[in-house]
Amino acid sequence: MATATLLPESVRLTPVGQNRPVPSKKVVVIREGYVPTISASVPTKKLSTRSKRVRLGVIHTPELRIKRAIPVEVRRKDDQVLAIAHDFQEFGCGETMGDALDDLAKGLAELFFRLDEEKDRLGSDLRSLRAKLSDYVERRGKE
């Protein structure tokens, strides 16, 4: 059984228990039958396990394949999760991060097909969007 030695009131200890003399104003007095506790608030950074930036590496469309993982920002607002691929100004939403990423992947696939379909009549901005998207996504069998 563990025993604790209680020091008499006259013994002066430093806060870390050393028995060297300390200035009288900072004396820690231990009375018999009283165990002092020290409480302190230490500022800590709130850690979150939820990612804000992820990379999309799967596209659930049999005809397409991801060449390079697509950087995605994940935003949460109330009960809604928004997955945004800023490079393509495309987004997906859902109740969970998985839903939002899935929505985004399907949206990107639709965008890819539509841009491919309309490639001959795209304006300059959509032409460069198509070129950029082709750096990340390609049709399967195109080796």
Partner 1 sequence: MKVHEFEKIVNKLELKVRNGRDRHAWFEYEGQVITRTKRSHGSGFDLPANLIRQQLKINERQLAGLISCSVSKEDYVRILIEKKLIVIPGATKSPQSA
51 binds partner 1 (CB under 8 A): no
54 binds partner 1 (CB under 8 A): no
91 binds partner 1 (CB under 8 A): yes
56 binds partner 1 (CB under 8 A): no
User: With left for phi above 0 and alpha for psi between -120 and 50, is residue 136 left, alpha or beta?
Assistant: alpha
93 binds partner 1 (CB under 8 A): yes
87 binds partner 1 (CB under 8 A): no
CB 37 within 8 Å of CB 59: no
User: To the nearest 10°, the Cα dihedral for 105, 63, 110, 91?
Assistant: 10
Element (H, E) at 74: strand 70-77
Residues lying near partner 1 in the complex (CB under 8 A):
77, 80, 82, 84, 89, 91, 93, 103, 106-107, 110-111, 114, 118, 121-126
